[in-house]
Amino acid sequence: PGRTLSAGDVNDSPPSEAPRDARTALREAWDKRVLAGRPSLTLSILDEWQGTLCASAIFHLLEICVQFVSPLVIRSIVTFVDSEDQNLPLGIIYAVCFFITPLLQCLLSSHFILHGRRLGMRTQGATACLVFEKALRLSQPASTSYGPGALVNIMQVDTFRFAFAFFHLNFM
What is the C-alpha to C-alpha distance for residues 111 and 56, in angstroms, rounded to an integer?
7
Per the model's pLDDT, the better-predicted residue between 154 and 109 turns out to be 109
Please answer whether residues 65 and 168 qualify as being in contact, where contact means their C-beta atoms are separated by less than 8 angstroms: no
For the chain, how many structural domains are there in total? 1
What is the C-alpha to C-alpha distance for residues 171 and 59, in angstroms, rounded to an integer?
12
Residues whose CB is less than 8 angstroms from the CB of residue 29 and which lie 6 or more positions away in sequence, other chains included: 44, 45, 47, 48
Per the model's pLDDT, the better-predicted residue between 154 and 112 turns out to be 112
- Asked whether residue 11 is domain-assigned, the answer is no
Name the maximum alpha-carbon separation found in the chain. Answer: 86
| Residue 36 pLDDT greater than 90, yes or no | yes
- Asked whether residue 151 is domain-assigned, the answer is yes
Q: Residue 111 — very low, low, confident or very high, per pLDDT cuts 50/70/90?
A: very high
Which amino acid makes up residue 107?
L
Please give the pLDDT value at position 1.
67
| Residue 55 pLDDT greater than 70, yes or no | yes
| Residue 99 pLDDT greater than 70, yes or no | yes
Per the model's pLDDT, the better-predicted residue between 153 and 44 turns out to be 44
What is the C-alpha to C-alpha distance for residues 145 and 150, in angstroms, rounded to an integer?
10
| Residue 3 pLDDT greater than 70, yes or no | yes
Which amino acid makes up residue 43?
L
Q: Which alpha helices (DSSP H) does the chain contain, by range? A: 19-35, 41-67, 69-82, 88-137, 140-153, 159-160, 162-169
Q: Residue 17 — very low, low, confident or very high, per pLDDT cuts 50/70/90?
A: confident
- Asked whether residue 75 is domain-assigned, the answer is yes
- Asked whether residue 150 is domain-assigned, the answer is yes
Please answer whether residues 115 and 150 qualify as being in contact, where contact means their C-beta atoms are separated by less than 8 angstroms: no
Per the model's pLDDT, the better-predicted residue between 50 and 145 turns out to be 50
What is the C-alpha to C-alpha distance for residues 63 and 107, in angstroms, rounded to an integer?
8
Provide the 8-state DSSP code for 157: I
Q: Residue 135 — very low, low, confident or very high, per pLDDT cuts 50/70/90?
A: confident
- Asked whether residue 22 is domain-assigned, the answer is no
Per the model's pLDDT, the better-predicted residue between 11 and 16 turns out to be 11
- Asked whether residue 95 is domain-assigned, the answer is yes
pTM over the 0.85 mark: no
Sign of the four-CA dihedral 11, 13, 14, 20: negative
Domain boundaries, position 54: 48-169
Identify the burial level of 67 via C-beta atoms within 10 angstroms of its C-beta, where 0-12 means exposed, 13-18 middle and 19 or more buried: middle
What is the C-alpha to C-alpha distance for residues 87 and 54, in angstroms, rounded to an integer?
42
- Asked whether residue 140 is domain-assigned, the answer is yes
| Residue 63 pLDDT greater than 80, yes or no | yes
